[in-house]
Amino acid sequence: MIRVCVQRESFAPGALLEELEAVGGGGVASFTGIVRGEGDLVELMLEHHPAMTASAMREIADRAAQRWPLLGVILVHRYGALVPGDRIVFVGVAARHRAAALESCAFLIDWLKTRAPFWKRERFADGRTRWIEPRAEDDRAAARWEV
């Protein structure tokens, strides 16, 4: 089971975990990304390449399923205007054993960071906006999965 969702609305991690728990594995790992409210941030605007996003995410999920023995993968990524505390992204993985679930979960979020066509613009209380630049740290995190 591989499912990829690109959506404006929020999602319920608990319901997604229940689906992953039902596929018969011994372990379900998840990561949920949330808008941090730092430095007077009032909005995080996520722009994406609508025609490309789902297929790019699907490719990332397929890559994980080739590399680890996974029973289920759910990726959800939101776009649009978010506020601090909002969920941005969900990665959930089910596998027979925990190592595959935990490693592939880390892989999936690292690759979404650097390979899913999203861009983030911060807007602050004073009206100033700023496009988030990719962090060298994120490139390093993604690079550790290169074979």
Partner 1 sequence: MAIEMLYFAWVRERIGLDREMIDPPDEVATVADLIAWLAMRSPGHAEALADPERLRAAIDQSFAGMEASIGKAREVALFPPVTGG
Measure the CA–CA gap between 49 and 55, rounded to whole angstroms.
11
Tell me which of its own copies, partner 1, none is bound by residue 55, counting a contact when its beta carbon lies within the kind-specific cut-off of 5 to 8 angstroms: partner 1
Give least dist CB 93 to partner 1, A: 15
Contact between 112 and 89 under an 8 Å Cβ cutoff? The reply is yes
CB nearer to partner 1: give 83 or 131.
131
Q: Which does 119 bind (CB under 5 to 8 A by kind): partner 1, its own copies, none?
A: partner 1
Count of beta carbons in the 10 Å neighbourhood of residue 118? 20
Rg, C-alpha atoms of the chain = 16
Q: Confirm or reject binding of residue 107 to partner 1 (CB under 8 A).
A: no
What's the token pair of residue 117? 């066509």
Which one of partner 1, its own copies, none interacts with residue 120, CB within 5 to 8 A by kind? partner 1
Instruction: State in angstroms the smallest separation of the CB of 131 from partner 1.
Output: 5
Restricting to residues 9-68, name those near partner 1 by CB under 8 A: 33, 47-49, 51-52, 55-56
Residue 121 interacts, among its own copies, partner 1, none and using kind-specific CB cut-offs from 5 to 8 Å, with partner 1
52 touches, from partner 1, its own copies, none (C-beta below 5 to 8 Å by class): partner 1
C-alpha closest to that of 105 among 3, 30, 15: 30
Find out whether 49 and 117 touch, Cβ atoms under 8 Å.
yes
Q: Which residues are near its own copies by CB under 8 A?
A: 12-15, 17-18, 21-22, 24-37, 85, 87, 96, 98-99, 101-102, 105-106, 109, 141
Contact 115, 41 (CB under 8 A): no
| Cα within 13 Å of Cα(17), Cβ side | 10
